[in-house]
Structure 1
Amino acid sequence: MLFGGFNYHGNSFEQSYLCYPASFIDKPQLEMGDKIIMPPSALDRLASLHIDYPMLFELYNGATERVSHCGVLEFIAEEGMIYMPYWMMQNLLLQEGDIVRVKNATLPKGTYVKLQPHTKDFLDISNPKAILETTLRNFSCLTTGDSIMVAYNNKKYYIDIIETKPSSAISIIETDCEVDFAPPLDYKEPERPQASVPTSKKVEQAHEPQNEAEVERKFTAFTGFGRRLDGKPAKEVFSSDSSPMQDKKSETASSTKPISPSTSEASTSRQTKGKLVFGSNANRAPKEAQVAPKETKEPAKEEEPKFQPFTGKKYSLKG
């Protein structure tokens, strides 16, 4: 159906226009939202159609196949032209004078939107949530994949629309929408400092092997005092400095040496003290040396009668 030289099909509005930024008509406030300025003929056609309010439109760039959505602010543009925010032209990859198709659209009310700032400077604002709420009051809808502009304190912050629910394009007019933030694009996680070992621990770790070697050297097995099972006092106390292993080494070393009277006397003296002697010297010792231990044990036998078990008075069970 042809209407006034423009193509209108049934109850829908669809028309192609030449687009220009808002700076062409000296309306800087247009940059603070997502609304465009259309010609009066578009208002005439929209008024005759039964469309939903508020008026929302789909913008389509056929050359790049980019799609976005917007609202309308005024109908004062020249015929065949529309004016839009410059950041919106950047989303659609449009240049001044490029052709864009405008079509009316019905969008569901949004329930969720996820935003991602381009720089972490936006998070340094004292109250970014309040600034974002104030800015979004000038917006009619949000489209996944777009980058909106938030102006604050003479600085422009760009924010990507990562996700919207319940659809890829939503209306944010008179609706409660949950907002979530993703980390900024230039955000880097701080490096975790490596745990430094204190110098005192390093010194301890350096001395640990040496200390273990010293412990091994000082360790002597089977040290202590000898005790008799019958309760009598021991005749000899073994020193804790000498170890059985050392005695064994010394005795084996002595067994390898040739037999001499001094060594035989030493072996007999060892036998008299009640120590075990390993090696051939024990067999080669003279008979006098073998008899000597018996003589030393005789006093111990004389003391044995002193121990009298089951001593005491006798009693009769008859009373």
Structure 2
Amino acid sequence: MYFEGYGYRGSTFEQTYRCYPASFIDKPQLETGDKIIMPPSALDRLASLHIEYPMLFEVRNTAAERASHCGVLEFIAEEGMIYMPYWMMQNLLLQEGDMVFIKNANLPKGTYVKLQPHTTDFLDISNPKAILEKTLRNYSCLTTGDSIMVAYNNKKYYIDIVETKPSSAISIIETDCEVDFAPPLDYKEPERPKPTAPPTAAPTAEAEAEEEPMFTPFTGPGRRLDGKPSKDLDASGSSPAKRQANATNSVQPSTASTSQSTAPRKTTGKLVFGSGGNQSSKETDKVLVRNSFDPHGTTALVLGFPASHVVPP
């Protein structure tokens, strides 16, 4: 039976085979590693070339431009055919009976590999390190970009080979290799709680009133219109509260009476200041000053008209 590329040439092993999954042969252990089964003729050719052990191969799907690396388990396949793990066929985008190119390869011993599980379920295993070490004993080499399968407790876990050192393909046979893990593909970082700022209470009208400077009118000392010292108001610049008390006490009914009134008129809330030293008998000489109080307790002096023109409050 002749297949395209069947036969040997040159000083290296290069061969094209039809590939089939391991389910086509009674070798279930193939699925737990990266080793393939080749025909006996391949062993003869490899022996004649004095290929060093362990035998490692580059596996390439030329049509899809995908490549990986593997080892060999046995040489018992039919001529022109090879059997490989199904997960490897998935990496290479191969279907049953597709043609695959095989070439022997020499890979350096690995010193570092970074793995990334597909799901967080792999981290739920009680001892993932021990499971991984046991699984990798069935592997000969690792290639950056591949996805290997780890079987445990009747479940399959897929892990990506994110990075390998010192090259993109390494041998892991009898070597001490540092293993690092990247976060799983479906891992989501928990959202950090946002700091809650304490609610700022809106300033009340009273608080604003306390903060804003208040305007206090008529804070100066009271003075008479005729220039003489005042007897009713404190001219020494006392406090507004004291002046308010003095002003309140000074608001008393006037004893003066007008010539036009036949009966005494009540003048509560008014202060009468004369133009001279003594009170004049003329009403036109009298000036009324209305004594009113502002909301802040200070006395407001409002000049008025002559008494004959002032309407009683």
The TM-score with structure 1 as length reference comes to: 0.68
Q: Which runs of 5+ in 2 are unaligned?
A: 244-273, 279-313
The residue that corresponds to 2:156 in the other structure is 156
Task: Give the C-alpha shift of residue 29 in structure 1.
Answer: 1.1
Contact 1:11 1:50 in 2 (8 A): no
State the SS of the aligned residue for 2:131. Answer: helix
Q: Report the Cα distance in structure 2 between the residues aligned to 1:69 and 1:274, rounded to whole angstroms.
A: 100
Matched, 1:216 2:211: yes
Counterpart residue number, 1:301:
none
Alpha carbons of structure 1 residues 266 and 151: separation in structure 2 relative to 1, 3 Å: same
Q: Indicate the residue corresponding to 1:71 in structure 2.
A: 71
Q: Could you tell me which residue of structure 2 aligns to residue 190 of structure 1? A: 190
2:35 equivalent in structure 1: 35
Counterpart residue identity of residue 50, structure 1? H
Deviation string 1:186-236 (CA, Å, 9 cap, x unpaired) is 111111112234xxx53xx3155556425437x89xxxxxxxxxxxxxxxx
**Alignment size in residue pairs:** 242
Tell me the CA shift for residue 100 of structure 1: 0.2
Aligned pair in 2 of structure 1 residues 107, 286: CA closer, same or farther (>3 Å)? farther
SS in 1 for 2:176: coil
Q: Which of 235, 241, 253 lines up with 1:270 in the alignment?
A: 235
1:88 aligns with 2:88: yes
Aligned Cα root-mean-square deviation (Å): 3.3
Q: By how many angstroms is 1:266 displaced?
A: 3.0
TM-score for the superposition, normalised by structure 2: 0.69
Which residue is equivalent to 2:103?
A: 103
Structure 1 residues 93-115: Cα deviation after superposition (integer angstroms, max 9, x where no partner): 00000000111110000001111
**Secondary structure of residue in 1 paired with 2:173:** coil
- CA separation of 1:148/1:272 partners in 2, compared to 1, >3 Å: closer, same or farther? closer
Aligned-residue offset at 1:272: 9.8
Answer whether contact 1:11 1:51 (CA < 8 A) is retained. no
Are the structure 2 counterparts of residues 78 and 274 from structure 1 closer, same or farther at C-alpha, using a change threshold of 3 Å?
closer
Identity %: 71
Distance change >3 Å, CA 119–CA 287, structure 1 → 2: farther
For 2:237 and 2:19, how far apart are their aligned partners in 1?
A: 123
1:147 and 1:211 map into 2 onto residues whose CA distance is 71
Alpha-carbon distance in structure 2 between the residues aligned to 1:115 and 1:159? 6
| Corresponding residue SS for 2:83 | strand
Q: Secondary structure at the match of 1:67?
A: strand
1:163-205 CA-to-partner distances (Å, cap 9, x unmatched) read 11111100000000011111111111111112234xxx53xx3
Gaps of 5+ in 1: 221-244, 278-283, 289-319
Q: Secondary structure of 1:206's partner?
A: coil
Higher helix share: 1
Q: Residues 119-145 of structure 1: CA distance to partner in whole angstroms, max 9, x if unpaired? A: 111111111111111100000000011
Q: Distance in 2 between matches of 1:274 and 1:56?
A: 106
